[in-house]
């Protein structure tokens, strides 16, 4: 299995860096490079890559517009937006354009490869900070102020998930958009302890990211 990738960024040095990183992997091949959105769309038609990794800000046509047009075409190419911007505006526009992933340019090699394999396998990938922005936006769209779970509350739905009082407390804080570091400070626990609770929580709820977690919480009336 070889994952065929098209790179689109108006800076050649950025493309060269990503290409060098990816071509160290035996199962990844860079099949083309583009310097703007229009060129990216043309090359997608010619090369039919599995993935398009595309920058947000480019001349002639930006990355988000290119992704939007791409997803209106009969193609199997999936798009990952790669950007130095973590603003809510860019992130939400990328999601509206149906990008399958959003990565920041300071992501390390392991995260880039994780994103590539996740999206290639048909799932969405957003880095942790990006997921927080998405969840916060979902919460803003909720009706009024939500009633969070009381740690001592006995609710049949959450009992089905076997959540502990501490996990419920951490779930509430996650749904408020707080990071592991912020939660560790608020609860006076080490960051590693919070990460362990969070891992167990997501495992019990059978979710892989914050978007799924928020959706599952709503399903079980946990938010």
Contacts with 109 (C-beta within 8 Å, 6 or more apart), sequence order: 21
Last residue of one domain, picked from the residues 126, 155, 174: 126
In terms of domains, do 100 and 142 share one? Answer: no
CATH code of the domain containing 88: 3.40.50.2300
Q: How far is CA 186 from CA 35, 149, 174, 179, in A?
A: 45, 17, 12, 11
- Same domain assignment for residues 62 and 117: yes
Same domain, 188 and 114: no
Query: Is residue 169 domain-shared with residue 112, that is, in the same domain?
Result: no
- DSSP-derived secondary structure for 38-68: HHHHHHHHHH--SEEEEESS-SSS-HHHHHH
Print the domain residue range for 95. Answer: 3-126
| Residues 142, 102 within the same domain | no
Q: Is the pLDDT of residue 92 over 50?
A: yes
Q: How far apart are CA 122 and CA 167, in angstroms?
A: 29
What pLDDT, on a 0 to 100 scale, did the predictor assign at position 160?
Answer: 55
Who contacts 146 (Cβ-Cβ below 8 Å, separation ≥6)? 139, 223
What tens digit of pLDDT does each residue of 45-91 get?
999 999 999 999 898 899 999 999 999 998 899 999 988 876 777 88
Q: Are strands 125-126 and 101-104 parallel, antiparallel or unpaired?
A: parallel
**Same domain (yes/no): 107, 36:** yes
**What sign results for the dihedral spanned by CA atoms 18, 20, 26, 32?**
positive
CATH number of the CATH domain containing 171? 1.10.10.10
In a domain, 131, yes or no: no
Instruction: Please name the residues in contact with 196: beta carbons below 8 A apart, sequence gap of 6 or more.
Output: none
- Separation of alpha carbons 71 and 75, rounded Å: 7
Structure-model confidence comparison of residues 216 and 222, the more confident one: 216
Phi-psi region of 177 (alpha: psi -120 to 50; beta: other; left: phi over 0): left
Q: How many CA atoms lie within 13 A of 136 on its CB side?
A: 14
Total residues found in the chain within this entry = 223
Higher-pLDDT residue of 80 and 215 is: 80
pLDDT tens profile 169-182:
888 888 777 888 88
pLDDT cut 70: percent of the chain above it = 81
Distance CA 88, CA 129 (A): 11
Same structural domain, 161 and 111? no
Alpha-carbon distance values, 31 to 6, 89, 100, 112, 180 (Å): 6, 30, 19, 17, 38
Which of 118-132, 153-167, 192-206 is the least confident region? Answer: 153-167
Mean pLDDT of the chain: 82
Residue at which a domain ends, from 85, 104, 126: 126
Under 8 Å between Cβ of 30 and 47: no
CA atoms within 13 A on the CB side of 198: 22
Answer with the one of 126, 147, 175 that is the final residue of a domain: 126
């Amino acid at each position: 299995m070889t994952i065929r990738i098209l790179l689109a960024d108006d800076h050649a040095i950025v493309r060269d860096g990503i290409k060098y990183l990816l071509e160290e992997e035996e199962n990844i091949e860079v099949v083309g490079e583009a310097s703007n959105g229009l060129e990216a769309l043309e090359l997608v038609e010619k090369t039919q890559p599995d993935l398009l990794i595309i920058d947000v800000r480019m001349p002639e046509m930006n990355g988000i517009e290119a992704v939007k047009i791409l997803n209106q075409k009969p193609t199997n190419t999936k798009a990952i937006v790669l950007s130095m911007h973590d603003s809510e505006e860019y992130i939400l526009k990328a999601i509206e354009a149906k990008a399958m992933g959003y990565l920041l340019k300071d992501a390390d090699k392991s995260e880039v490869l994780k994103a590539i394999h996740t999206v290639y396998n048909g799932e969405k990938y957003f880095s942790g900070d990006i997921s927080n922005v998405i969840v916060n936006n979902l919460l803003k769209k909720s009706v009024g102020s939500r009633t969070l779970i009381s740690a001592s509350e006995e609710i049949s739905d959450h009992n089905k998930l076997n959540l502990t009082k501490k996990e419920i407390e951490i779930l509430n804080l996650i749904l408020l958009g707080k990071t592991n570091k912020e939660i560790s400070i608020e609860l006076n626990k080490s960051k590693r302890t919070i990460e362990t609770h969070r891992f167990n929580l997501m495992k019990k709820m059978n979710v892989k990211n914050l978007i799924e977690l928020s959706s599952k919480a709503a399903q079980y009336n946990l938010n």
